[in-house]
Amino acid sequence: MNLNHRSTPALLAVGTLLVAGALTACSVSMSTGVSKSDLDAQALTVLQTKFPDDQIESVSCSDGLDATVGATATCEIVSADAQLTLIATVDDVTDGKIKWSFSEPQ
């Protein structure tokens, strides 16, 4: 199902994510940034943990994250019921540890 069609199950999924706010905060100890593959894997893990009954078909982030506060990457999520876009944003970089969070879906 596609969010462009604004179907009820897809809107309920989006509403659930919006109520939850930012999905989660993540962190890694790397001074150079977060690789694309690590970001893809973390996005998948977060979504599977939050929504264990949903069948997520793929997660693909546009790039990794630089170790710079405010750096972003767009992650496209495809499930059996919807297509969502999440934004990963670096919130803090301290002593080589990068903290980032995923936004609510767009």
| Predicted confidence (pLDDT) per residue in 47-95, tens digit | 888 888 888 999 999 999 999 999 999 999 998 888 989 899 999 999 8
What does the alpha-carbon distance between residue 62 and residue 97 come to, in Å, rounded to a whole number?
22
What does the alpha-carbon distance between residue 72 and residue 53 come to, in Å, rounded to a whole number?
28
Assess whether pLDDT exceeds 60 at residue 43: yes
Q: What is the mean pLDDT of residues 34-51?
A: 89
Q: Select from 33, 37, 64, 54 the least CA-distant residue to 105.
A: 54
In the structure, what pLDDT confidence band is assigned to residue 6 with cuts at 50, 70 and 90? Answer: very low
- Domain map (residue ranges) of the chain: 3-102
Q: What are the angstrom distances between the C-alpha of 53 and each of 10, 32, 50, 56, 67?
A: 14, 35, 9, 9, 33
- Provide the pLDDT for residue 80: 85
Burial class (CB in 10 A: 0-12, 13-18, 19+), 23: buried
